[in-house]
Amino acid sequence: MSFFNELKRRNVVRVSIAYIVVSWLLIQAAGVLEPALLLPDWVDRVVTVLLLIGFPIVILFAWAFELTPDGVKLTKDVDRSSSITPVTGKKLEYFTIASLSLVVVFFLVKEFVPMGDEQTTQTEVVEDSSAAVSIEPEESDVPSIAVLPFEDYSENADQDHFSRGIAEEILNLLAKTRGLRVAARTSSFAFAGSEIDIREIGNKLNVNAVLEGSIRKAGDQIRITAQLIKIEDGYHLWSETYDRDYSDIFKIQDEISAAIMDSLKVHLLGEEEQAVVAERAHNMDAYSAYLIGKERLALLGKENIEAAIRKFEESIEAESDYAPAYAALARAWLMLERVPQGPEKEEVDSKVVPVIDQAVGLSPNLPEAVAVRGLHHLYRFRYDEARRDFDRAIELNPNYALAYLWRSETFYEQEKFLDMLADKEKAYALDPMSLEISDQLAFDYGSFWRPRDADRIIARMFELHPHHQRAYIALARNMSAHGRYAESALTLEEAMKHLPEQDWLTRWHAWELASIGLFEEAESKGDPVVNFWVNLHFERFERARELAEVVKANDDIPVWMRFAPNRALAWELRTEQGLAPFKSAVAEQIDHYQEKKIPWTNNCRLSLLYDMKKAGIEEGVDEMMDKCRKSTEERLKAQFLCPCSWFNLVTFAAIDGRTEDAIERTLEWLNNGDSYSLLSLDPVIQEWSDRPEYQVIMERNNEQVQRQQALYLAGVKARDKAEAKRDEATGH
């Protein structure tokens, strides 16, 4: 008998193949489990080395020993006539085939199922961290710079807005330079007056160099000092001092920018030629008013925006062809429209349209002018036109963070959810300290089932801006979106302690309390919308009717929320009053949309669509169904489905006549961790009241509501106990 035949007889070959297959599976498992279980990164290497060491040992064991009915014996001691190696060989073959099947399954899963570090639901919606685009700013080896606000060292310290304006003008010039990444104003100006080391600031902003400077004004003379610092070692790349007449300020800005660009070409850009074009004011009063207006606009709020508008108008009055002032004025009016008790759309259009035309006419290549025209298109639902303007603004200024943020909204409206996320990530990379950008990106990460990315951004928001309302909004909204109403309510209570003047926090808090079934506490907050739904829940119809009228008459409440109570009340009373009042309530909302020229059929408004079908209103239904179908398909494809939007799948399936699918989606929604104490009021759920699944859904929902309620009450108790202990320790 040949040596090879003897290897086969003793199953050495079969054992070798089985060992190799199993070893490969174990190595893959180690690679997957290592990050999931937070194991050290050497674990998979150790497993591989041990398996390699074990291979010759296993081969030797297979050669020297044989499995018999009496146990393991030396091969030389086994009578060949009674050997069972053929039977053992067959078992090894079956084992190897089974293992190879696992290999095939592994490859299929790796190819077609998104893999992540953390499974977040029971419905195969997972966090795709392996495919995620990095939320960190672009690589540090890309030429990059941050311009800090210049310090005001004037005798009267009255040039703060002017010193900021000089830095901002230089920043805007540099931002138009291709091949150079420039930290956005929001992020770089966050370090105004900071004592943080310049290298630490550079590292926080992820830039190669930082420009800082100072301004000192005495009478008609001004001294400006600027210096460019390399972050890697803290050494100066370039510095210069300018003594000029105050009236020469724009010339000074040009000189500083040119000197900086010369230095950058040598030290950062590899001698690449750069084109820097400035949009200059020629009148000091115009420029000063423009800078003050920008400072007020950044503070937000109705009063500040109105003050900014007045300043931009002063700037234009002083210099009628100063394009940046026109662009800023248009943006201010668009911002004012969206604040509570802001002006009507018609009034805003009468102000904004001619101002935008003037800005673009004066300077067709001014990024701010082109972008604000896109913003107006966006707010008027002209998404294709908005997208073209934002594309152009970004082409003119590749470092324009707000243009990326605004363009992301056009992608959202066009169901291009991955493009939307990419734009917000780009905006965050350019302006990581912007609360507006951080808030929106954190919410989107939560919706894409990337909770750790969302948590990281929110934690940074609190680190940079403790107790800021935007940080609290991001945190509470991320919790609420995933059905964590108890934590959201506790977070809002913490926010209310630090921001007592913000009434909207109280209204939001009332919603969270109602969501976990604490109806009496929710009603005590006095919000008419919440109180309507609570009264409807308890069938206090007269009080609900009064509140529905209050809500409908409140222009500060979003349209979809203002008309919903009347529709819901009419639906609940249909057995007594028939469908006529319900049809009238649905038609009233449609009439409002048409009066305000809102393209309601081009947007997916599921609750309205459901009510239209129930009311027998056919006009616009097919168009909205197409929109909702496309939106649903794209959300599923992109996995852009947090529990907060998962119920949309339920409603759309019910509207589409797919009852079984709608019920299955509801159970998935509950498995995803969401619940709602007022679920029994939902007309979709009501339709299933005679089905066996209805009881299962309501019981599971009530269990989760009770769990959230218990978590909230436990959190309140723990907080009160900690505060009492702290008061006792401090003697209060």
Give the per-residue pLDDT at 263: 63
Report the phi/psi class of residue 640: left, alpha or beta, with left for phi > 0 and alpha for psi in -120 to 50.
beta
186: left (phi over 0), alpha (psi -120 to 50) or beta: alpha
What is the pLDDT, as a whole number, of residue 679?
A: 94
Percent of the chain at pLDDT > 90 equals 39
Position 564 scores a pLDDT of 92
Question: What domains can you pick out in the chain, each with its CATH number?
Answer: 3-112 (no CATH), 144-278 (3.40.50.10070)
- Cα(234)–Cα(678) distance, rounded to whole angstroms? 60
* Dihedral-angle region of residue 720 (phi above 0 means left; psi in -120 to 50 means alpha; beta otherwise): alpha
C-alpha–C-alpha distance, residues 636 and 366, integer Å: 39
Phi-psi region of 41 (alpha: psi -120 to 50; beta: other; left: phi over 0): alpha
In whole angstroms, what is the distance from residue 502 CA to residue 159 CA?
A: 32
Predicted pLDDT at 274 = 44
Assess contact for 512 and 489: CB atoms under 8 A. yes
DSSP state of 119: B
Query: What pLDDT score was predicted for residue 284?
Result: 77
- List, in order, residues 6 or more apart from 151 with CB less than 8 Å away: 163, 193, 212, 213, 214, 215
- DSSP assignment letter at 603: S
Q: Tell me what pLDDT residue 113 has.
A: 45
- What's the pLDDT tens digit per position in 269-299? 554 444 444 465 677 788 888 888 988 887 7
| Residues 167 and 203 sit within 8 Å (Cβ to Cβ) | no
For 221, phi then psi, to 5°, come to -105, 150
Q: What is the DSSP string of 351-411?
A: HHHHHHHHHHHH-TT-HHHHHHHHHHHHHTT-HHHHHHHHHHHHHH-TT-HHHHHHHHHHH
Instruction: Examine the pLDDT at 460 and tell me if it is beyond 80.
Output: yes
Q: Where are the beta strands (DSSP E) in 184-260?
A: 209-218, 221-230, 236-245
- Packed helices 367-379 and 383-396: angle between N→C axes, nearest 10 degrees: 160
pLDDT band at 111 (very low <50, low <70, confident <90, very high): very low
Sign of CA dihedral 652, 653, 659, 664: negative
Determine the average pLDDT of the residues in 67-89.
64
Judge whether residue 38 has pLDDT over 70: no
Burial, 724: exposed, middle or buried (Cβ in 10 Å; 0-12, 13-18, 19+)?
A: exposed
Digit-coded pLDDT (tens) for 221-264: 777 888 888 887 777 777 777 777 766 666 666 666 666 666 66
Tell me the residue type at 243: D
- Mean pLDDT confidence for 288-317: 88
pLDDT at 115 over 50: no
Residues 549-571: tens digit of each pLDDT = 999 998 778 877 889 999 999 99
Q: Would the pLDDT of 404 be above 90?
A: yes
DSSP structural state of residue 130 = T
Q: Which of 9-23, 253-267, 619-633 has the lowest mean pLDDT?
A: 253-267
Identify whether the C-beta of residue 173 lies closer than 8 Å to the C-beta of residue 187: no
Q: With contact defined as beta carbons under 8 Å apart, do 69 and 56 qualify?
A: no
Give the pLDDT confidence of 174-191 residue by residue, as tens digits.
777 777 788 887 778 877
